[in-house]
Structure formats: C-alpha cells, structure tokens
Amino acid sequence: MSEAAEPRDFLQVTRSATGRVWRDRLPQTALRDVRAIAEDTGVPEIVARIMAARGVAPAEADAFLMPRLRELMPDPRSLTDLEGAATRLVAAIERSETVGIFGDYDVDGATSSALMQRFLAALGVTTHVHIPDRIFEGYGPNEAAFAQLAGAGCTLVVTVDCGTASHDTFARAADMGLDVVVIDHHQTGETLPQAHALVNPNRQDDLSGQGHLAAVGVTFLVLVEAARQLREAGREELPDLIGMLDLVALGTVADIVPLTGLNRAYVAQGLKVLHQRRNAGLRALCDVARLRDAPTPYHLGFLLGPRINAGGRIGDAGLGARLLATDDADEAMTIATKLDELNRERQEIEKAAVEEAVAQVEGGDADWATAVIVTGEDWHPGIVGLIASRLKERFRKPAMAITFAGGGEAGTGSARSVSGIDLGQAVRRGVDDGVLIKGGGHAMAAGLTVARDKVGDLRAFLQGALAGEMAALPAEDVLKIDGALTAGAARTDLIEAIDRAGPYGAGHPEPIVALPAHRLTWCETTEQGHVRLGLAGPDDSKLQAIAFRAADGELGDFLTASRGASIHAAGTLRINRWGGRETVQLQMRDAAAVTPP
C-alpha cells in the first residue's frame, strides 16, 4: 500500500477514552471523488465525504441519493425455486384453500407473517398464523404445530424466516395432507428438507446474489411474482404491495441485514409508507412509542423493533404478527399497549441479567481472547440474545449467552458476532462436531442448544474455530470518522442533508462526526445509566450530547473527569424534537483528550 493510501489517524487520536484509534474513513485516494460528488449533486462536502467513503462513484451519486425500487428490484424468478413457490400460492388462492403461515418469533418473522397474511387476506384467502413459543416450542417448525394447522383445515403451510433446517417436521407434513413452501434467508447446509418449494437466496444452488435480504425481503419478492402470475391469469384487483413496504422496512432494519442494494431501496421507500401511517398496528405502535415525526432506521431499530420483539421474548410470541396484520384500530392499540408494557418489563429483566453476565466475565479467570461465553441458571430464554449483544458491545468480541432456566441439562443460547467473524458457520460446525445439540443462524447472529456438560467443550471449540478469523482482524480497535465540524455547524439542515445519503444501518454505517477541541461545559448521569453533557465550540457555539449506557464504563469515567476541559468528541447527529422545538443532539460514541501541539 502506498503512503498516500495509508489510513490516517483522525485528530491524532491513537488511544481514545474507550481505547480506540480514530481513523479517517475516507481514503486519500477518494478525495477527488468528494469534490466531484459535491459539485455534481450540490450536497455539502461532508455528505460527499460520507458517500465517497462508502464507495459511491461520482457517476452513481444521483442514483444513490434516490434509491428506486424499480431500478434495484431483480427478476424474482432469479431466486431458485421462487417461481414454484409463487405458483403454489396462486393455486391456493384460485382454489380458495386454507393456508397456514408459520413464522419466527422475532421482528423479521412477525413482519414476514403479517405481509403474507395481508396479501392472502386481500384476495379472500383464509389463513391461520402460528408463531412458536420461544420456551415451549423453540425455533422453527415442529410437528405438533403442523398437526394443529392441518386440523384447522390448512392444505398449504408457508414457513417464513425459518424452515431451511426442518428435515424431520417436513418429512411428516405429507402424511398430514400438507404441502410446504419455505421462505427463509438463513445459511444452509448441502442437504435441504423435503418441501414443495424452498426459497432461500443463501441456499448453495442459488445464484441470484440476493443473500443479503432479510426473510421479509424474500417474502416480498415471492408475492411480487405471485401478483404477476395472477395478473397474467386475468385477475384485475390485486393487493397494494407497495403500500406494505413499511413492514418490509421494519423487518429489514430489525434483522440487521446490510442496507445495500435492494435492502436500501426497501427501507427508503418503506419509511415513506410508514410516515403515511396506513398500517393500523404500526400507527398504534408509533403512538405508544411517542413517535410522531418522520421515521428513520434508528426509530425502526430502537423504538419499534424492540417492542415487537418483546412479545416473543417474554410474552405472547404471536402479538407482533397479530398487531401488524390487523386493520382494527382498537385491537391495534390494545396489542401495542401490551407490547409497550412487555418491553419495559424486558428492559428491567435485561438490566439485571447483563450486570450478572458482565461480572461473570470481569471476575472470572477464563480465556476470553477470542470469544466471551457466559451462562446463567435463571436468565429468561427470551433475553439471552440481548445479553450477548451487550457483551459484544462492551468487550468488542463475539459473545454467547446461555441459560439453563428451569434447571435442565440442556441450555438455550444466543450468540452475536463482530464484523469479520462468521459465527453462524462456527455454530453449524459445532453441531456437526457434536459439541452442540442444535444450532444455526447467520454471520452476525446465531441460536443454539447445548448440554450442560458440554459448555467447557464449547468454549474450547469456539476458541479454536474462531482463532483464525480473529487473527485476521485488524490488531487495533478502530473508530472510523467521516469528518469534523463545530457545534455551530451542527444544524438541522445539515442533518437533513446527511440523511439524504441514507438510510443507514448494517453494511451502510451511520456517519460518525468529530467535534475537535470542544469544552465540556457540564456533565450529569441519569438514572438509566446514560451520561448527558454540554459541549461548547471554539466560537462558543453550544451543543448538547448524550452517551447511552456509558455511566459505568470507560467513556463515562473519562467524561466525568473532564468537566471544564477541552476534549475531542465523536458521535452521530440527531434532531431532537420536544415540546414543539427542534434541537440538534450528538449521540456520543467516543471521546479523547486533546493532544498538545
């Protein structure tokens, strides 16, 4: 690599409050593109930097700023088995069959189930939706649930966000008089289960290049093809699929799939639909979450998604899908209120469990060099994924949380990974090697079941299985910065310009800006463990900031000790709307001492 292409330290920060090196996200080789993008599109320079740093060429800039579904949508039939899946759905519609929908208990499963149910219901099809109970049924299709759907008169079962590994259940489906269509996106092995059609862009014989889609995005493509076939058969009145893109956007963001290509168009267009508040369930959910402004991916991921998930974690797993499928405003508000209550309860349960898990890591003598693995005897199975996420954020390593709730000999676990480490593949290898009873997932998240006496073997297995990938990661912990500005420049019109290069999320990271040498004027800790503070720029311009869940960590300690001093601050800019006023707020990710010249 030439000297010109070497990554540059940003503001000379080689060790921040959280132990990171700050680096300019923009390669020097792309500086010329910044000027061209700014001149061609009229966006501010910092927005041009954001785009160039993410690989947008000047010739692509205009199209990038306006992602269009029409231009990014593939031919749905390019996905293996999709045409057959749509054909079977169309047959069920024309024959007025009763259709079962079996979905996962997370947001992707709930949105996929509601999308399928809304489409079929609009065409007069009777449906029965089954979302499994996380504790009593576990993940994926099971024989008892399929028998229940058959007993309700279903002749076709569509599984969404699950089913790729359901060999045993599907082997019995034909005996129950059921055809099965699978719509999934999880990574697969070489052998697939018996099904009338299995649509999964991550199956090994699928060459569509759409493996980044969430299940709800794949479901949308299946329904687009079904609508095409119905239109060709002479059906004139068809469901408004574009009007259902709010569901697709929610499931896509909540499942943390890359917001690139088709996913980016799904979310950009879906946010517009969501702002129109057409869906009764989403309208009620926005109301209980006090979201009345134009929604963003942040709102989907941190306000709406957790409330949908709360039902599957600690309550009735079917609440989310029922909320998103209903057109009854009163029923929607009842369910949304219940999910809001469950979410608050989940937050309390999670807080106590995370504290126990962190103490287990910091107080133990295990080798955490490659991955963090913790166990609990009474953690609720619905929050182990959240525990793993918090551990991954805190220790910046792949993390796994396992609970033996109920005192059984088999524990339920969930794992979360860091960029560059394929945890789903490692979990599948663990199953093949007999270390795990079962498990699966994708690169960034996985679920598993492990015997109590195999936990030690699992730790050793993961240390070996992930060692190579961990060694290939950069030795330094790097925070990538998109640009610098002062508190005075952080205005609402700038944030609106930055948002034009969105939506941001996994694979298209939200911009992080640095505020150099700003004085920390005040600092306080909230009851929730956040740190609120004020920053003043060299021109005495002011900006309020917040560091979420930072009070008990390195960042909180640094901020508390830096009152009155000048610091470098880094974070994302948000528009805070409260009491009829709009103010800009920095959501702080990191901070650093100012290095003397």
Report yes or no: 343 and 310 within 8 Å, Cβ to Cβ: yes
The verdict on 200 and 265 lying in the same domain is yes
Question: Quick one: pLDDT at residue 443?
Answer: 82
Report yes or no: 194 and 82 within 8 Å, Cβ to Cβ: no
Q: Which amino acid is it at 347?
A: Q
Q: Is the pLDDT of residue 365 over 80?
A: no
3-class SS letters over 162-197:
CCCCCHHHHHHHHHHCCEEEEECCCCCCCCCCCCCE
In Å, what is the CA distance from 491 to each residue of 278, 330, 374, 575, 596?
31, 39, 43, 9, 29
Segment 578-591 shows an average pLDDT of 88
Q: Say what angle helices 262-275 and 245-254 make with each other, to 10 degrees.
A: 120
The verdict on 265 and 317 lying in the same domain is yes
In Å, what is the CA distance from 140 to each residue of 105, 167, 295, 431, 441?
9, 11, 31, 16, 12
Segment 460-470 shows an average pLDDT of 88
Residue partners of 372: CB distance under 8 A and separation at least 6: 361, 391, 392, 395, 397, 398, 399, 400
> How sure is the predictor about 503, in pLDDT bands with cuts at 50, 70 and 90?
very high
Question: Quick one: pLDDT at residue 68?
Answer: 92
Which of 424, 440, 472 is the endpoint of a domain?
A: 472
Give the pTM.
Answer: 0.88
CB burial of residue 37 (10 Å; 0-12, 13-18, 19+): buried
The verdict on 213 and 329 lying in the same domain is yes
Percentage of residues in the chain with pLDDT exceeding 70?
98
Asked whether residue 353 is assigned to any structural domain, the reply reads no
3-class SS letters over 27-73:
CHHHHHHHHHHHHHHCCCHHHHHHHHHCCCCHHHHHHHHCCCHHHHC
Weakest mean pLDDT among 79-83, 552-556, 574-578: 574-578
| Count of Cβ atoms closer than 10 Å to residue 525 Cβ | 17
Which one-letter DSSP state was computed for residue 3? G
Segment 506-515 shows an average pLDDT of 93
Asked whether residue 360 is assigned to any structural domain, the reply reads no
The verdict on 158 and 262 lying in the same domain is yes
How many whole angstroms separate alpha carbon 501 and alpha carbon 25? 16
Asked whether residue 351 is assigned to any structural domain, the reply reads no
The verdict on 237 and 377 lying in the same domain is no
Which of 296, 325, 341 is the endpoint of a domain?
A: 341
The verdict on 181 and 315 lying in the same domain is yes
CA 362 from centroid of its chain's CA atoms: 28
How many whole angstroms separate alpha carbon 390 and alpha carbon 354? 7
Q: Which amino acid is it at 68?
A: R
402-428 confidence digits (pLDDT tens): 999 877 899 999 999 988 899 888 998
217-257 confidence digits (pLDDT tens): 999 999 999 999 999 999 999 999 999 999 999 999 999 89
> How sure is the predictor about 327, in pLDDT bands with cuts at 50, 70 and 90?
very high
Report yes or no: 161 and 106 within 8 Å, Cβ to Cβ: yes
Q: Is the pLDDT of residue 214 over 70?
A: yes
Percentage of residues in the chain with pLDDT exceeding 90?
80
Q: Is the pLDDT of residue 368 over 80?
A: no
Which CATH number goes with the domain that contains 291? 3.90.1640.30
The verdict on 437 and 402 lying in the same domain is yes
Give buried/exposed letters for 387-402 (b at 16+ CB in 10 A, else e).
bbbbbbebbebbbbbb
Which domain range does residue 17 map to?
3-25+478-593
Nearest to 323 by CA among 286, 378, 272: 286
Question: Quick one: pLDDT at residue 366?
Answer: 66
Calculate the average pLDDT of the chain: 93
Instruction: Cite the DSSP H helix spans in 289-439.
Output: 297-299, 305-314, 319-325, 329-363, 384-395, 423-432
The continuous run of DSSP H or E covering 154 comes out as: strand 154-160
Q: Is the pLDDT of residue 2 over 70?
A: no
> How sure is the predictor about 452, in pLDDT bands with cuts at 50, 70 and 90?
very high
Please tell me the total number of residues recorded for the chain in this structure: 597
The verdict on 76 and 137 lying in the same domain is yes
Segment 507-536 shows an average pLDDT of 95
The verdict on 432 and 544 lying in the same domain is no
Asked whether residue 138 is assigned to any structural domain, the reply reads yes
128-184 confidence digits (pLDDT tens): 999 999 888 888 899 999 999 999 999 999 999 999 989 999 999 999 999 999 999
CB burial of residue 255 (10 Å; 0-12, 13-18, 19+): buried
CA 203 from centroid of its chain's CA atoms: 21
Asked whether residue 348 is assigned to any structural domain, the reply reads no
The verdict on 21 and 31 lying in the same domain is no
Q: Is the pLDDT of residue 195 over 90?
A: yes
Asked whether residue 355 is assigned to any structural domain, the reply reads no
Which of 472, 490, 515 is the endpoint of a domain?
A: 472
Which CATH number goes with the domain that contains 403? 3.10.310.30
Strand pairing class (513-525; 542-547): unpaired
Q: Give the DSSP per-residue string, 216-249.
A: HHHHHHHHHHHHHHHHHTT------SGGGHHHHH
How many whole angstroms separate alpha carbon 225 and alpha carbon 90? 10
Report yes or no: 438 and 431 within 8 Å, Cβ to Cβ: yes
Question: Quick one: pLDDT at residue 4?
Answer: 41
The verdict on 204 and 167 lying in the same domain is yes
Asked whether residue 197 is assigned to any structural domain, the reply reads yes
How many whole angstroms separate alpha carbon 553 and alpha carbon 380? 25
Asked whether residue 49 is assigned to any structural domain, the reply reads yes
Q: Is the pLDDT of residue 367 over 50?
A: yes
The verdict on 435 and 521 lying in the same domain is no
The continuous run of DSSP H or E covering 513 comes out as: strand 513-525
- What is the count of structural domains for the chain? 4
Question: Quick one: pLDDT at residue 1?
Answer: 32
